[in-house]
Amino acid sequence: MTITEKILAKAAGKRSVRPGDLIDAKLDVVLFIDVTGPAAIKMLEARGIDKVFDREKIVVTPDHFQPPKDIQSAELHKRLDDWAKRNKIKYYYRLGRAGVCHALLPEQGHIRPGEVIIGPDSHTCTYGAFAAFSTGVGSTDLAAAIATGKLWFKVPESMKFVLNGKLGHGVYSKDVILTVIGRIGVDGALYRAMEFVGPALADMSMEARMTMTNMAIEAGGKNGIIGFDKVTKKYLDEHLKDKKEYTVFESDKDAEYIRVEEFDCTKIEPMVALPHLPSNAVPVTECAGKKMDQAYIGSCTNGRIEDLRIAAKILKGKQAAIRTIIVPATPTIWKQAKDEGLFDIFYEAGCVISAPTCGACLGGFMGVLAEGEKCISTTNRNFVGRMGHPKSEVYLASPATTAASAIEGKLADPRKYL
């Protein structure tokens, strides 16, 4: 079996599973956020259900519209707050400790190898970087999950992505995943497990790996997953607080994959995904010089401290030529960036520094685009109208490429600044 199949077999109480099997799986962690969570609460209340399966296995944080931007989002927060308090949810990260969920949960020690994790947000697949099975669900499945602690799944087929070589100068994991999606397309892994292996992973931090599994959904993947190694262990040793034990699964040597794709990472260049699909990935050298109106560095894909350090290295001593928004993904990252002096660099460069929020990524607030505006962004989606007006455009890139483009006011190769 593959690592994904082994995790699901354990969760279903079975000795083995095969792709296509329908299983009932026990859940180890259920994520609950402000946009999709209240809808699940409403469904349960309509059926007279006001309970949770385990108040210590549900992690709650507002993030998409935090702080609330209007009356509607304030009502969502109030419903979330009332429900979390009423059910005595142990891990409730309120305003001031709330952060972008897919950065917050690993940082706060809620993610462990071998576990099954779901959340009402498509980028819940991020946690597969820790050799766990994690996937996004809708509000209806969320309602069932928080009431019963179980959910049914169809066991996905697995695809293997072999990352050979090493990343070159100015090239990051964001460039790798854009290259992968560019090759297979936005439906190239539809309802499949995307398993990443290969020597290039050895030099990637957990933050870099999370960037890759985060975007598995942009290829249609059911989940993204990376095997356990010393990098994973080091991160877990530093971040796990309670329950430090976990189970590590590895894919068998004779495991079956529906498809295997190999990449020579030494040949990958800094990439940009052109509008309006993440699969429209081209080397920045092919599109350099295109004028931008906004640069955005943040999100569940690239708002971690490593990302901010990369951006600060390029922006240091420079001036941003366009509106540039920096969003640390969690309060801990915000404080760390401040303490390290990164905020001084961003301030001197003329950037806006925000509290942790998903706001601009989904076109909610804190960076919404007007008609005709173009944004170079470290986020994960560039669909029509994703960050604002339907006639605006979003270009996806690494923090390095985004910072270089902010300085020049146009798409720019980061290697000249590194």
What's the CATH number where 284 sits?
3.30.499.10
Same-domain check for residues 318 and 232: no
Pick the range with the lowest mean pLDDT from 62-71, 342-351, 402-411.
62-71
Task: Count the neighbouring beta carbons within 10 Å of the beta carbon of residue 72.
Answer: 9
Give a yes or no: residue 361 inside a domain.
Answer: yes
Q: What is the pTM of this model?
A: 0.96
Give the CA diameter of the chain. 61
Q: What is the mean pLDDT of residues 96-122?
A: 96
Same-domain check for residues 86 and 142: yes
- What is the pLDDT at residue 385? 95
Q: Which of 263, 290, 312 corresponds to the end of one domain?
A: 263
Give a yes or no: residue 118 inside a domain.
Answer: yes
Same-domain check for residues 307 and 224: no
- Assess contact for 121 and 136: CB atoms under 8 A: yes
Structure-token pair, residue 373:
């505006």
Q: Which of 263, 289, 305 corresponds to the end of one domain?
A: 263
Res 381 pLDDT > 90: yes
Same-domain check for residues 181 and 291: no
Pick the range with the lowest mean pLDDT from 66-70, 293-297, 335-339, 405-409.
66-70
Q: Can you give 211-244 as a three-state secondary structure string?
A: HHHHHHHHHCCCEEEECCCHHHHHHHHHHCCCCC
- What is the pLDDT at residue 327? 97
Same-domain check for residues 314 and 176: no
Res 242 pLDDT > 80: no
Q: What is the mean pLDDT of residues 104-132?
A: 97
Give a yes or no: residue 85 inside a domain.
Answer: yes
Question: pLDDT confidence of 22, banded at 50, 70, 90?
Answer: very high
Spatial CB neighbours of 223, under 8 Å, sequence gap ≥ 6: 4, 125, 128, 133, 134, 135, 156, 193, 194, 213, 216
Q: What is the mean pLDDT of residues 370-396?
A: 97
Quick: pLDDT tens for 219-231: 999 999 999 999 9
Pick the range with the lowest mean pLDDT from 33-42, 208-217, 268-277, 395-404.
33-42
Same-domain check for residues 126 and 199: yes
- Assess contact for 399 and 407: CB atoms under 8 A: no
Same-domain check for residues 61 and 174: yes
Pick the range with the lowest mean pLDDT from 55-59, 89-93, 242-246.
242-246
- What is the pLDDT at residue 213? 98
- What is the pLDDT at residue 387? 95
Same-domain check for residues 323 and 178: no
Same-domain check for residues 159 and 283: no
Rg (CA), the chain: 20
Residues 107, 110, 116, 117, CA torsion sign: negative
Number of separate domains in the chain:
2
Structure-token pair, residue 102:
């897919």
- What is the pLDDT at residue 241? 83
d(CA 283, CA 179): 9
251 burial class (0-12, 13-18, 19+ CB within 10 angstroms)? Answer: buried
Same-domain check for residues 84 and 120: yes
97 burial class (0-12, 13-18, 19+ CB within 10 angstroms)? Answer: middle
Average pLDDT, the chain: 96
Same-domain check for residues 185 and 323: no
Question: pLDDT confidence of 244, banded at 50, 70, 90?
Answer: confident
**Residue 354 belongs to domain spanning:** 272-417
The Cα-based distances of 355 to 108, 118, 310, 366, 374 in angstroms read: 18, 26, 19, 10, 23
Give a yes or no: residue 250 inside a domain.
Answer: no
Q: Which of 199, 231, 263 corresponds to the end of one domain?
A: 263
Res 404 pLDDT > 80: yes
- What is the pLDDT at residue 243? 78
Same-domain check for residues 155 and 282: no
d(CA 245, CA 398): 34
d(CA 7, CA 250): 9
Coil, strand or helix at 199: helix
d(CA 102, CA 214): 8
Res 218 pLDDT > 90: yes
Percent of the chain with pLDDT over 90: 98
CA 70 to chain centre: 25
Coil, strand or helix at 347: helix
